[in-house]
Amino acid sequence: MNTSIPNTIDQSITINAPIERVYTLITDPKHFGTWFSEGVDGDFTPGSQPVIHEGKYGDFRLAIVDARPHNYFAYRWVSGTHFTPEGFVGNPLEHPNTLVEFFLEPVGEGTLVRVIETGFAHLPEHYASQNHSDNTGGWTYQLNALKTYAEK
């Protein structure tokens, strides 16, 4: 089966800053704790399991997978701030988790950052069963949304 859909989030952004600088902001917990979360306890070397604080969403433990200056950084976590209201600080590797990968490449004088998060199809049901309030949008709209994910 050649598809893992809808199993992936894939987003990119171009940043007008050198790749070394962007890499540091992503992989230094001191900086990560300012743009991603509200602070971090622990370090980001591969194999370590720091805890990030996401304010009202709770704390989340990361399992750092890999860090290759200045092009790649990856971790696993049990994520989904809207659907894990109390956070998740257990060992992510012992639970169904998602893999977050940052890919950096120089573009002119700036940096292209691409984030891919995969593994949603493996999350257990109860992590994602919250807040089913409104139910708008037609069938075509929904299928198109699915296709968008599928074609990424």
Partner 1 sequence: MKDEVAVVFRALADPHRLALLERLDPNEPVSVGKLLEGLSMSRQGGRKHLQVLSEANIVLLEPKGREVMVRVNSDAITLSIKYLRAVEQSWARRLQRLKKLAEREDLQI
Positions in the binding site for partner 1 (CB under 8 A): 1-7, 9, 11, 13, 15-17, 21-22, 24-26, 28, 31, 34-36, 79-83, 111, 113, 115, 117, 120-129, 132, 135-139, 142-143, 145-146, 149-150
d(CA 95, CA 30): 27
Shortest CB 48 distance to partner 1, Å: 21
Shortest CB 14 distance to partner 1, Å: 8
Which two three-digit tokens encode residue 120?
A: 């949603």
d(CA 55, CA 31): 16
Q: Which is nearer to partner 1, 94 or 135 (CB)?
A: 135
Please report where in the chains the tokens 């600080």 appear, as a residue: 89
Shortest CB 133 distance to partner 1, Å: 9
Angle formed at CA 89 by CA 13 and CA 116, multiple of 5 degrees: 20
